[in-house]
Chain A
Amino acid sequence: MAVATKAETPPSPPPPPPRLRRLVYRLRVLRHEPTAALGLILVVLLAYLVVAPLVAVLSDAFRVQYGDDVHAGQQAGEWTGYYLWRVLRSQISGLLFWEPLLNTLVIAVGTTLFALVIGGGMAWLVTRTNVPGRKWLAGALVVPYMLPSWTFSLAWLSLFKNERAGGQVGFLQAQGIRTPDWLAYGAMPIIITLGLHYYPFVLLLVGNALRRIDVQLEDSARILGAPRRTVVRRIVVPLMLPALSSAVLLVVGRVLGTFGTPYVLGLPADYRVLSTGLFQSIRDRSTGVASVLATVIVIIGVLIVFTDMRLMREHRRFVTVGGKGAMDRLGDLRRWRWPAFALGLLAFGVSVLVPILTLLLSTVTRTPMDLKTFTLDYWFAERLPGAVGFPHGVFRGAEMWEAAWNSLRVVGLASLICAVVGLLVGYVVVRGTAPKVAAFLRQVSFLPYLVPGIAFAAASLSLFAVARGPIPALYGTTFLLILVMAVTHLPYSSRSGIAAMTQLGVEPEEAAQIAGASWWQRMRRIIFPIQKGALVTGVVLPFISGLKELSIVIMLTTTGTQLLTTLSIGLVDYGYTQLANAVVLVIALVSFTMTYLTQRLTKSSLASGIGG
């Protein structure tokens, strides 16, 4: 039996053992605890895949590239301000930079306004009014976001294309109605088609915010004597500001990096934006200029996200999170109910039915939309007269299937890598054996979020286009595609990984450890099985988004590594409108079906994945 032992003098902590002893002990512990090693591996991996490309593109922007030594008057490889000068101050800088910048701003502002009006209006309709079929509308109006963003631009061309560019003309022109250039190409069509793609974004963000506003806040104002209009102006709108500003900034950020639509609708009329300018510089092998442009896009992207985070933090100080007061109380539209429903239906029709039907019809008629010329040749014909590079229907021949297989392989692997790395990042962060490693992983895995995809692809090209040290040149390989796609989707998967691991906590693993399970057994039998759901969502969400991805992959694919999206753009380049449309329809169908099934099966809402 133990005896009372109370030290006469209060014990003070013993002097820590010598540094070397402690080190030996630490190493002994680490040998049994692979978390630290895993953390280090992830740090190296992320530093190489996320940080290094950005450093490389920045350095390329200020180093004389091969072949430019004559123009720059410096040796290749030397530090230079030549490209900066060329982009910002030279005679061609208007063409290279200022005009595309202005166009980008016009499109960003226009698209945002368009998306705000439609998305905000529809959000109000489906969350705060008794419009008929509001549940259905709420779901249906999100569909445009499930389609590839440039679907709308192809549909637009099918309707309004004139003879300016080669290939088949659009429906109106075929009817003998001349479509002027401003209607067929340039700012207006780009704004409308991008707006149609991005308004669901606003709808979801604003809708969620509207749903969360505590009705009691409005009631209090009413009771204090404020008329309805004042309540909206003084209470609802200020409370909506964070969601609104967030939606605005995110749409602007997306538009900044979007490639497909301005490429399809802008380039035939020489209407350039920053993303297409960047693409052309890369095509022309003006690496220095491309690097400057990419850097500028990165900087604007970073500024946008920081502004958003800043605003969110300031707003958070006074935003109330509704408790039970956030009940659904719907405004009665009375005799405007059915007109409102018609309006919702119109939005759905214009943003989903019209583009899809237009594309579909264009692929089954020889003369645009003329059902008398119905044909399935563009889908199934073994031989398509006149089409040189693609002389058969999309389902014939190897091209489409190869591209589909590539898409599946590349996007599938990238999503898998992304989900696993995301979960491992979450694991290391939550285990928290090394706070500095955790902080690094948390921040760097979030970094690609700040960088528009097309700029990140350019940055990756800077790093991986040539052999560096033991790593061979990766340009043109599917491996590079997989890497870049995985990295650009990492912010979402690492965030959800951290959330999932935080929720789980460390105790289930510790319990397994005590029960005698080695690290590998713990991973295999405890962590991964418990996180199965999170892992599946972590694969599926990047997969859906990656399948539609164009801006990231457009610069990285070569003829050998076509994906569905780049194949479609390639067909647009050839002027094979119907074939391009057919491929886009295939993408849209797959992406829509997968999104729908995922929502059904996992009961997750698209809103949670809206970041993607």
Chain B
Amino acid sequence: MPNITLSGVAKSYGGGDYAVKNLDLTVPDGAFMCLLGPSGCGKTTTLRMIAGLEQPTSGTIAVDDRILDSVERGLYVPPEKRGMGLVFQNYALWPHLSVRENVEFGLRMRKVPAPERRAKAEAALRMVHVDAAMDRYPSQLSGGQQQRVALARMLAINPSVLLLDEPLSNLDARLRLEMRAELKRIHEESGATIVFVTHDQLEALTMATDIAVMNEGELQQLAAPMEMYARPANRFVAEFVGSPPMAIIDVVPPGGGRASTGLAASLTRFAESRVGPCAPAAVGVRPEALRLGTPPSGAGWREEAVVEAVLPAGSSWTVRLRVLDTELYAVSYTPVDAAPGDVLDCWTEQMHLFDADGIRIFSLDGAEVRA
């Protein structure tokens, strides 16, 4: 099973702008890796370079020991010889071929004899539950079915590397939920290495075994989902992963110097009381870590908060608070019985401290200090 390595990969479209800057990334064998980032961060370019549809300006891309691209050594393997599977965002089903012919195409290119081709295509279509629509044309299918056919087309050739370019973004919410589970199942059943591009952090957290967060062509962090959630490498990752986003309060006020009052100062004092002097530049608190009411043992940080708005959302309640003149959001999973203007206690045992470059110094979680 393959191990995809990118080393020193850069991609420029000319004019000094880089879509991907010096990327070093290893996708471990059998991983389900998400390339996560905002649009224009270089994640799709990276995926297309792995597929061979775009060529790097410099660097090397390899699967195991097989070098697919090496600008330095002048090596290149065209996409059709890489043997990977790719699902496009818009599926790119061929309109003039029936569902069955679409799925059989890759096998035909591999000169698989007809009976075997047929059996494999049917198996792939059964796997994604569209075997009933086998003789229809793509234009006669719903969006969800088209998506499944695109998956089946890729699975039929049984590739060891599967690439998916935002394949769920054109589906409605219910189908998306269903397909997430489906993709996870396919990953487990096929044992293939999957690289999945998305801008949806929830998608990444729910499906991936590893997440690579990218921004402006640079890799920000590579980690397992919960690891990334618990220990974001920097402010960008902290704000991008998690919803609603982490609140990050700058310690250094705009005027310079060190504030002794305000929310940031209060949070810093609490952190320093735990670990000694550490001088963070910013402190982040996740909304779901911010609790309302009296802390159980008095161990965490606590402050008085004025309720500004309560936004119920069925299973959770989002509350907008004003704490020491700073706006904060809290998410509660128990009903919040408060009205705007009420004064409550809020507290937390989890916070993340960042230095002046935005790099995380450490995180506090109850009594634990995580580097």
Residues of A near any B CB (own CB < 8 A)? 1-7, 10-17, 21-22, 24-25, 28-29, 32-33, 507-508, 510-518, 521, 525-526, 529-530, 532
Contact = CB atoms under 8 A, between A and B. Distances in A.
B146 interface: no
Nearest to A33: B78
Nearest to B55: A29
A12 B109 CA distance: 41
Contacts of A513: 53, 78-80
B80 A507 contact: no
B109 A6 contact: no
Contacts of A518: 80
Given A513-B79, A514-B80, A516-B157, A2 B223 contact: yes
Nearest to A435: B14
17 contacts: A5-B219, A5-B222, A6-B220, A6-B234, A6-B359, A11-B23, A11-B219, A12-B22, A13-B21, A13-B22, A16-B10, A21-B72, A512-B94, A514-B86, A516-B80, A516-B110, A530-B96
Interface of B: 8, 10, 12, 18, 21-24, 26, 28, 31, 51, 53, 55, 57-59, 70-76, 78-86, 88, 90, 92-96, 105-106, 109-110, 153, 157, 209-210, 218-224, 227-228, 231, 233-234, 359
Nearest to A22: B71
Chain B CB within 10 A, most for which of A2, A517, A521, A526 = A2
A36 to B, nearest CB: 12
A6 B58 contact: no
B57 to A, nearest CB: 6
Contacts of A5: 24, 219, 221-222
Give the residue among B10, B23, B80, B223 with the most A Cβ atoms within 10 A: B80
Nearest to B84: A514
A420 to B, nearest CB: 18
A8 to B, nearest CB: 8
A511 B92 contact: yes
B223 A515 contact: no
Contacts of A516: 80-81, 83, 106, 109-110, 157
Nearest to A525: B105
A594 B85 CA distance: 46
A24 B73 CA distance: 8
A21 B157 CA distance: 34
- Residue of A15, A25, A521 with highest tally of chain B CB at under 10 A: A25
B76 A29 contact: yes
A510 to B, nearest CB: 5
B18 A13 contact: yes
A510 B28 CA distance: 26
B75 A28 contact: yes
Given A14-B58, A21-B71, A513-B79, A4 B53 contact: no
Given A11-B218, A530-B94, 4 more contacts: A3-B223, A510-B53, A511-B94, A514-B84
A14 B59 contact: yes
B357 to A, nearest CB: 9
A14 B79 CA distance: 25
Contact of A13 (B12, B82, B92, B210): B12
Nearest to B228: A4
A12 B58 CA distance: 13
A11 B22 contact: yes
Nearest to A28: B76
Contact of A507 (B81, B82, B90, B227): B90
